[in-house]
Structure 1
Amino acid sequence: MAYHFSPPGLLVGSIFFALSLTPSLLPRTEMVQGILSGCCFALGYGFGNLGHWLWNFLGLKVPPGRVTRALGVGAALVCWGLVLLALYYSVTWQNSVRAVMGMAPVEEYQPLLIAAVALPLAALLLILGKLLVTLIRLVWHWLMPHMPRRAALVLSSVLVVLVVSILVNSLFLRAALRAADGFYARLDALVASEAEPPAAWYQTGSAASLVDWDTIGRDSRVYVQSGPDAAAIAAVTGKPAIEPLRTYVGLRSAPDAAARAELALAELQRIGAFERSVLVLVMPVGTGWVDRAAIDTLEYLHGGDVATVAVQYSYLTSVLSLWIEPEYGTETAQALFSKVYAYWTALPQDQRPRLYLHGLSLGALASQNSSSVYDVLADPFQGALWAGPPFPSSLWGRFTEGRQPDSAAWLPRFGNSSSIRFMNQSGTAGWDEAAWGPMRIVFLQYASDPIVFFSFDADWRRPAWFDEPRGPDVSPALNWYPVVTFLQLALDAALAQTAPVGYGHVYSPRDYIDAWYEVTQPPGWSRDQLEALKLAIDPDQYAPF
């Protein structure tokens, strides 16, 4: 019944509900928005109810009954007004996000669907919260005969929260992680029956390969076999081309990271990768997936005169790995780099390929950690392209924090721009005129990418990228609200790959073309030819879903 609810709880819950409908970085479906809004209402109710309880517990003055009832009625009216007004404006807010991403507007009936999802979820969460409070009270009453009343309350709250947290972590989270790891491991091994080993001697998994075809998973098989061949490259670019070389070592291909790196080097040597003009060490995302948009465009730009090698280090998705163990791929990245770099530096400088690093998402984080600048000073590699660098990336974080004061947090300028540059959909627009140095490092990032711009302190601190001017792919209606914005960004990060190509965490081949051109400087390309190449590639074929 209504009088069983806390008026302050309902008021704060309604405020949280209303704020949850405001735009964040990515568009949200009715189901996703309903889940977010239901959780926000329950959390806000908990905060308001806690404040209400503390007021009474401390014995602070309470208005007379008639005033209290009037305040309750007023609060109820305000709550309903806030909820209805926010639901009404939710269509406009969501469309402000969709407009900057070139998406169709939402239907006018979306608020009804949001409410239909949020209401039962909020009710369920409130019931669970009530059960938790009841448990705390039971323990409190059990402890009160043995200690002072307030000490018993504090101890009972700590004990119940601690026990529940341990149970949830042990029974739910760990079981869920084990299930997820097993699921993605089975998914990695799941391959369509028609996926036969490649026939070409230079392809991973062929009869001549050192890597067993059965030890690389579904996504890696698609990656190995799906790239453009010499004929396709020549047809698109109008330039002579050779067959690009792609090497992939799976998690099951060797027993540990060092052995997998050794196998990768041996496979590179077997196929003559060090005789190519460009060699790229690729760190895949958490599941082992390599973004074809990145590698296809590199091969087009260099006429196939490219060798790439990727080594798998996990089955879990990047999002799960980022929350659990963001440094998960570092061991593999360091093993691969050290093996290949040692062999590469032993070759005569005029008889070896230019060496580059690449990674997307968690792969970008692992790739950044693969080496130290002090280890390569004597003979540095030529550069790196890191796309969608995730928020825990310490190297990216240092460059962003140390940016020039007049540059935006979502597109920094660092130092004299001779070695480190940031790029988004605008390409090189806004770059300094400074010449590149011997090492070229580009961070490709979209202002709408929550994997890049999420932060754990966003619940109490306004991130710098909220400052004006905003990124071109960010809603002008975006605002920061304590706690709620944190939850919005966390949900955005979990769904980062649901954005259209060229937004969020889905990087467009057209932007990879600009980035690779700056990093690797392929010869024989004019600006008009680069634009023609962008038009010749359909970005939608690289959509993850």
Structure 2
Amino acid sequence: MRLTKIFSVLGLLVGATFFALSLTPSLIPRSAYMQGILAGTAFTCGYIVGVFIHWLWNYLEIPDIPVTKWQRRMLKRGALIFCICLVVGFLWQGAHWQNSIRSLMAMPPVSGVRPFTVGFVALLVFLSLWAIGKGFRRIIREVTKRLEMHIPERVALLTGLLVALALYWGILNGVLLNTGLHIFAVISERHDTAVAEGLSPPKDPEKTGGARSLLSWDSVGHQGRRFLTLGPSVEDIKEVAGQGIEPIRVFVGLNAAETPIQRAYLALAELKRVKAFEREILLIATPTGAGWIDPGAVNSLEFLYRGDVATVVAQYSYLPSPVALLTDDEYGLTSARALFKVIYEYWENLPTRTRPRLYLFGLSLGAQLSEDSFDFYDIIDDPFDGALWAGPPFGSGIWQVITDNRDPGTPAWLPQFKGGEVVRFGNQYGGYLGQEPWGRFRIAFLQHASDPIVFFNLRWMFRKPDWLERPRGPDVSPDLRWFPVVTMLQLVADLNVGIAPLEFGHRYSPAGYILAWMALTEPPDWDEEELQRLREKLKIYPVR
């Protein structure tokens, strides 16, 4: 058959196996298009593995199994038929596996033309990557052929490989990536300066962004304008809690000052102007890349303390978190450290009895930057009250150390550390448990067992993740299995977190934040009836 002449039979066998395994469930549901991209990529990776094994077999001069030409031809045809049957069978089973995750997350099941869509997209991805690979190989051959007449064959081959790598890397990184990032940055900056319909400056001139504010309405940016105007009013708080005052929100946009330290001092001046240090709670919230703060996190805290909360945010980028990480993650860290340092140094010099309780918050990249914004040695003499870090990404240092050294017998998705004296973990179902009393300085991690941002790690390529051991998280499919290489590719696909519903994956709900703030800060005078009323009220606010 012509296919067995164009493609490596062993490559097709291993590729089909990877393809089939990629259809099994992972942490969150996948759309048909994302599943097709994943399956095509997995097939390509398996194909490369198969080709490499075949090359290594020949390079080591291991003799082939003695068969006749007719037997070899029949073996190739049988292998090709097996690949087709494997792919088709697993494609039809794929909908069932996706539904095993969707049922856990109360999502409607999938069916219909999904297998055809997945198969077609996967074929396009594989053929595209295969063509790129053929081009790469052709460059190596052409360079090697021209050089081997003048230099040793192996040196010529190595030179050809280096030339192909340099050429492809130059096109990918120097042209496509840089051009794409530049275009994305220009679009994001324009979006940040545009004023969304329905958002207007505060009528109260004393509020941030108002007529008397040190921060102009134009300088706070798109996310800043949303943050300053879409939170609960004093009337909303009184409706739920019976009494309340207007919360204080301060947002320093990227255009408010030239440098992070200047923006930090501007934030401090604005906090003092609006009397934020007279509130019960002062929250330093570190945003995600574009300046977004999860509304559920701040809204829930403001309700729980009946408005007696001041929150300060400093923007460090126009770009979404993944793009911000690719361009300049150090700038975000510099900004987070500057804001914490300036506010903490002022706060620690206030009278202990009258100063507000100081907490930190961050989600995703914001959690990572918030975690790195201070040094424990700098605060050990006078620590702030605590931190809530939601969905900490896989690069978070403190999270990784604590999880790897968790108390024996506790699961990786809800660990306990040294009896819970300082650090505790929770999720949308509760948690925050410990055998020891929780001290005055507290750190809480809010994480879903189904959050790929939290649990992705390159080491899962060849090692089974701890969070797959029994018992598993209640929102993790029982059909999820670990396969070398393939599971890591699935987790990469899962990083496209948008398909997960609220309360699953990387999407954290106000109800989950209520549980976290209740455990971390212990607000007084809330019974279950009032908390249920609060949960219902928070559903009316935007989640983005």
TM-score, normalized by the shorter chain, greater than 0.5: yes
- Change in Cα spacing, 1:82 to 1:327, as seen in structure 2 (3 Å) is farther
Q: How many positions carry a matched residue from both structures?
A: 540
Q: Which residue of structure 2 lines up, in the alignment, with residue 479 of structure 1?
A: 481
Q: CA deviation at 1:323?
A: 5.2
Which of 390, 395, 405 aligns to 1:392? It is 395
Q: Which residue of structure 2 lines up, in the alignment, with residue 231 of structure 1?
A: 235
Secondary structure of 2:430's counterpart equals coil
How does 1:8-407 map onto structure 2 within 5 Å? 8-63=10-65, 64=67, 65-237=69-241, 239-322=242-325, 326-407=329-410
CA distance in 2, matches of 1:543, 1:341: 29
State whether residues 199 and 229 of structure 2, in contact with CA within 8 Å, keep that contact through their aligned partners in structure 1.
Answer: no
Q: Which residue of structure 1 lines up, in the alignment, with residue 420 of structure 2?
A: 417
Q: Which amino acid aligns with 1:492?
A: D
Q: CA deviation at 1:500?
A: 0.6
Root-mean-square deviation (Å): 1.8
Q: Which residue of structure 2 lines up, in the alignment, with residue 510 of structure 1?
A: 511
Q: CA deviation at 1:535?
A: 3.8
CA distance in 1, matches of 2:48, 2:369: 39
Deviates more, 1:245-254 or 1:184-193: 184-193
CA distance in 1, matches of 2:90, 2:486: 14
Does residue 499 of the first structure (1) align with residue 503 of the second (2)?
no
Q: CA deviation at 1:537?
A: 3.0
Q: CA deviation at 1:467?
A: 1.4
- Change in Cα spacing, 1:158 to 1:481, as seen in structure 2 (3 Å) is farther
Q: CA deviation at 1:54?
A: 3.5
Q: CA deviation at 1:527?
A: 4.1
Secondary structure of 2:110's counterpart equals coil
State whether residues 220 and 253 of structure 2, in contact with CA within 8 Å, keep that contact through their aligned partners in structure 1.
Answer: yes
State whether residues 215 and 252 of structure 2, in contact with CA within 8 Å, keep that contact through their aligned partners in structure 1.
Answer: yes
Q: CA deviation at 1:38?
A: 1.5
Q: Which amino acid aligns with 1:268?
A: L
State whether residues 91 and 108 of structure 1, in contact with CA within 8 Å, keep that contact through their aligned partners in structure 2.
Answer: no
Secondary structure of 1:359's counterpart equals strand
CA distance in 1, matches of 2:476, 2:174: 39
Unaligned 5+ segments in structure 2 are none
Q: CA deviation at 1:543?
A: 4.1
Q: Which amino acid aligns with 1:434?
A: E
Identity rate, percent: 45
Q: TM-score, normalised by structure 2?
A: 0.95
CA distance in 1, matches of 2:220, 2:491: 34
CA distance in 1, matches of 2:424, 2:531: 20
CA distance in 1, matches of 2:159, 2:470: 46
- Change in Cα spacing, 1:403 to 1:110, as seen in structure 2 (3 Å) is same
Q: Which residue of structure 2 lines up, in the alignment, with residue 454 of structure 1?
A: 456
Q: CA deviation at 1:319?
A: 2.4
Unaligned 5+ segments in structure 1 are none
State whether residues 419 and 435 of structure 2, in contact with CA within 8 Å, keep that contact through their aligned partners in structure 1.
Answer: no
- Change in Cα spacing, 1:193 to 1:473, as seen in structure 2 (3 Å) is closer
- Change in Cα spacing, 1:211 to 1:536, as seen in structure 2 (3 Å) is closer
Q: CA deviation at 1:460?
A: 2.1
Q: CA deviation at 1:474?
A: 0.9
CA distance in 1, matches of 2:488, 2:329: 19
Q: Which amino acid aligns with 1:504?
A: G
**1:54-105 per-position Cα deviation (integer Å, ceiling 9, x unaligned):** 4334443234433322221121021011101110110111001111111010
Q: Which amino acid aligns with 2:539?
A: D
Q: CA deviation at 1:392?
A: 0.6
